[in-house]
């Protein structure tokens, strides 16, 4: 065990580690990224192709996120200083928790045998926590090797064919293809991408993407400490529980969690991620309303929430969201009328418009169906 015994030294080292992770970076999102969506629902189906021909969202500072608050740093010295302020002591005290399992793995079983002060240690711990929290080991592909022997690693590699979508965000990124928990950098783990590096071991996680890979479990709050995470795409699984409000602290461009079993409301804090261009949450069990804070997302082009249990009215202020290209909300419990401001937005977009609305009879909303490609 590589534990530090001096709390003062631990606190200083923790501050240095956080400062290192949050080194100033910026990103520029180009018009090259594209995505195609197809949706189905009971009682009928529809499909459409949507190109994420995004506007230039400019330079987005990624070091503007505050370090974890001092009052959270009360974990006893038997835990590594890197987890202070990231995971609660109560969680780590539960040996069955994903975080405790991840900590045990990285301290005892990780073939990389990273020094605890390595810049990659913290995000490796968070990614391992995500793995255990989402049923890693029972995924369809890219599960961890049975052990660190070369034969086990080779076998795991043969059962891993996944990779993340290569969005062009104006900076060089590396894409992983290896099984999770392999004795390589997390930037080499499948369905991830890291950016700002020519050496994957120095990269920071920019993207986590899985579709129909058997993920089952919860989304952990620790994901919010992947300070450069821009794409969180976890489709067609059995993820349950709430969407962590802390994700709103991230420089997200795409949040795509459709076809899961998520419940609760869309956290208000999600709308603080003003870099968001796509929110795709259809086919879950989400309730609550569409917050007025959605109008803060001036770059939002895609908002899909159909097949949930949302209610309330459609904010008329959404008519000012001139970049919104896809808006689907069928099979919810919305009431009232479609605001004229939203309809006016269709006209203001000119030839054909860019706003797509799909309202079905399951809604209590006044009938309106507009499909302007």
pLDDT at 324 over 90: no
Beta strand ranges found along 150-252 (DSSP E): 173-175, 192-195, 204-211, 216-218, 231-235, 238-241
Long-range contacts of 12-20 (CB under 8 A, 24+ apart): 13/81, 13/117, 14/73, 14/81, 14/82, 14/84, 14/85, 15/67, 17/81, 17/82, 17/117, 17/119, 17/121, 17/122, 18/67, 18/68, 19/67, 20/119
What is the rounded CA–CA span in Å between residue 87 and residue 84? 7
What is the rounded CA–CA span in Å between residue 269 and residue 273? 8
Paired with 174 in beta bridges are 194
Average pLDDT over residues 39-57: 34
User: Which residue reads 């620790």 in tokens?
Assistant: 222
What is the rounded CA–CA span in Å between residue 59 and residue 247? 20
The share of the chain scoring above pLDDT 90, in percent, equals 57
The share of the chain scoring above pLDDT 70, in percent, equals 70
What is the rounded CA–CA span in Å between residue 216 and residue 82? 27
- The answer to whether residues 313 and 342 touch, using CB atoms and an 8 Å cutoff, is no
pLDDT band at 48 (very low <50, low <70, confident <90, very high): very low
User: Positive or negative CA dihedral for 171, 177, 182, 183?
Assistant: negative
Q: In this structure, are strands 38-41 and 44-47 parallel, antiparallel, or unpaired?
A: antiparallel
Residue 305 structure tokens: 């929430």
Average pLDDT over residues 213-223: 98
pLDDT at 68 over 80: no
Closest residue by Cα to residue 129 from 59, 220, 13 = 220
Give 256-301 pLDDT, tens digit per residue: 999 999 999 999 999 999 999 999 999 999 999 999 999 999 999 9
User: Which residue reads 């796509």 in tokens?
Assistant: 278
- Which of 84-93, 132-141, 154-163, 355-364 is the least confident region? 355-364
pLDDT band at 12 (very low <50, low <70, confident <90, very high): very low
pLDDT at 199: 52
Closest residue by Cα to residue 264 from 294, 233, 289 = 289
- The answer to whether residues 355 and 347 touch, using CB atoms and an 8 Å cutoff, is no
Angle between helix 7-21 and helix 121-133 axes, rounded to 10 deg:
80
Average pLDDT over residues 45-62: 34
- Which of 27-31, 179-183, 250-254 is the least confident region? 27-31
pLDDT at 146 over 90: yes
pLDDT at 188 over 80: yes
């Amino acid at each position: 065990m590589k534990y530090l015994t001096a709390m003062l030294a631990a606190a200083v080292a923790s501050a240095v580690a956080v400062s290192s992770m949050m080194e100033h970076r910026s990103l520029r999102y180009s018009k090259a990224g594209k995505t195609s969506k197809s949706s189905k629902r009971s009682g009928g189906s529809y499909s459409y192709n949507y190109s994420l021909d995004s506007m230039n969202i400019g330079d987005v500072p990624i070091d503007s996120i505050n370090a974890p608050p001092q009052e959270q740093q009360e974990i006893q010295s038997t835990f590594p200083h890197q987890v202070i302020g990231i995971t609660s002591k109560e969680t780590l005290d539960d040996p069955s928790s994903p975080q405790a399992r991840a900590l045990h793995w990285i301290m005892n079983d990780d073939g990389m045998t990273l020094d605890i002060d390595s810049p990659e240690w913290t995000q490796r711990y968070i990614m391992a926590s995500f793995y255990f929290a989402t049923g890693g080991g029972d995924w369809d592909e890219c599960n961890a090797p049975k052990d660190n022997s070369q034969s086990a690693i080779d076998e795991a590699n043969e059962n891993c064919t996944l990779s993340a979508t290569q969005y062009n965000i104006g900076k060089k990124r590396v894409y992983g293809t290896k099984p999770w928990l392999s004795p390589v950098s997390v930037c080499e783990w499948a369905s991830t991408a890291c950016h700002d590096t020519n050496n994957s071991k120095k990269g920071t996680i920019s993207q986590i993407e899985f579709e129909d890979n058997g993920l089952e479990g919860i989304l952990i709050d620790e994901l919010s400490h992947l300070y450069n995470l821009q794409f969180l795409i976890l489709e067609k699984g059995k993820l349950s529980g709430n969407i962590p409000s802390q994700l709103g602290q991230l420089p997200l461009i795409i949040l795509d969690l459709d076809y899961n079993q998520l419940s609760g409301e869309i956290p208000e804090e999600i709308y603080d991620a003003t870099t968001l261009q796509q929110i795709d949450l259809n086919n879950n069990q989400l309730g609550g309303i569409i917050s007025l804070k959605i109008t803060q997302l001036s770059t939002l082009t895609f908002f899909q929430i159909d097949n949930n249990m949302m209610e309330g009215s459609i904010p008329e202020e959404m008519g000012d969201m001139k970049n919104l290209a896809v808006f689907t909300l069928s099979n919810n419990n919305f009431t009232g009328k479609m605001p004229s401001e939203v309809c006016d937005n269709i006209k203001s977009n000119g030839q054909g418009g860019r706003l797509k609305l799909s309202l079905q009879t399951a809604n209590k909303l006044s009938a309106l169906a507009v499909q302007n490609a």
